[in-house]
Structure 1
Amino acid sequence: MSGTRKIVVGVDASPASAAALEWAVRHAGSGDTVLAVAVCRMHPEVCGGGNAFHTAHRRVLHEAVAKLGPVRDARIEEIVVDGEAGPALVGLAEGADTVVLGGHEYQRGDVAVVGSVITYCVRHAPCPVVVVPAGGGDDGTGARLRAVAKEFR
């Protein structure tokens, strides 16, 4: 490998995914690729061949990337794929160094509750999974990430 990394980021319209995309770009090095992925569950063939759902996902993805402003070091690739989010992201994680997802920090009592996409990716991804809280995270030392890994073992 040439020393460059591939970072896969799940992007939807949520503040959490915007924070995940920002985190990934901030932690990407020179020459790294940040693969910003929007997953469309509405397949065009099911919707009469229409492209409206893909267009909407593509717009959300493009707006999220545009909000970042100029990116110096990393290259950002935007793609929209069909399928269920968890399996689609895990499939794209083959050969990747990291999967980055936004976490919504839902809680029941003192237990952090994570969504099905995060659960699926943590269990099945072939690389580390980083969950960035909705409010964003700093470089790691002060991030409000909760220890939820024990839920997945």
Structure 2
Amino acid sequence: MSEKSESSSGDREPFIVVGVDGSRASVAAVTWAIDHARRIGARVEVIGAWEVPWSELVSPTKVDEDYFRQVRERLEPAMAEALTGADDVHTVVRIVEWYPGPALVQAAEHAEMLVVGSHRYGVMGGMHLGSVASYCAHHAPCPVLIHRHG
């Protein structure tokens, strides 16, 4: 799933993968990833993943294009904010139809780092990882940074 570039010497271009869902936490994670990429001379692959809700599978009312459009509309303002002033860092934004955790882990194959935001939702917000962050921390093929916003 992840695009890989190679230089003429055969070395892979370093890259950082960052997950985005349109939340403030994911905007902060993208901003951090871009700053870090700038420091290490890497590119950034921003992945927005979505899945059809199981309830829709029982009684479908939309088609895949509807879900994709909703995700894109949610991500566009967040990405515009996160990418402001990042013209010096090669950044690719991709929206994929797949569960977010596995999508990010697969995209992170050969990455320098995988960055995900932390929402701090729930009764004990901040004390437990969310499902995507937990999946990435346990399965990623590279170091994972869980960016805590705020």
Distance 1:52 1:71, change over 3 A: same
Distance 1:115 1:109, change over 3 A: closer
Q: Which residue of 1 aligns with 2:116?
A: 101
**Counterparts of residues 1-153 of structure 1 (less than 5 Å):** 2=11, 4-29=13-38, 32-42=42-52, 49-68=63-82, 69-106=84-121, 112-135=127-150
RMSD: 2.5
2:73 & 2:125 partners in 1: Cα distance?
A: 37
The answer to which structure has the higher helix fraction is: 2
Distance 1:109 1:120, change over 3 A: closer
Amino acid at match of 1:88: A
Which ranges of structure 2 fall in alignment gaps of 5 or more residues? Answer: 1-9
Q: Which residue of 1 aligns with 2:4?
A: none
Verify the 8 A CA contact 1:9 1:34 in the aligned structure 2. Answer: yes
Q: TM-score with structure 2 length normalisation?
A: 0.76
Q: TM-score with structure 1 length normalisation?
A: 0.75
Q: Which residue of 2 aligns with 1:148?
A: none
The answer to which structure has the higher strand fraction is: 1
The alpha carbon displacement at 1:134 in A equals 2.1
Q: Count matched residues.
A: 133
The alpha carbon displacement at 1:6 in A equals 1.0
Which ranges of structure 1 fall in alignment gaps of 5 or more residues? Answer: 136-153
User: Is the partner of 1:28 in helix, strand or coil?
Assistant: helix
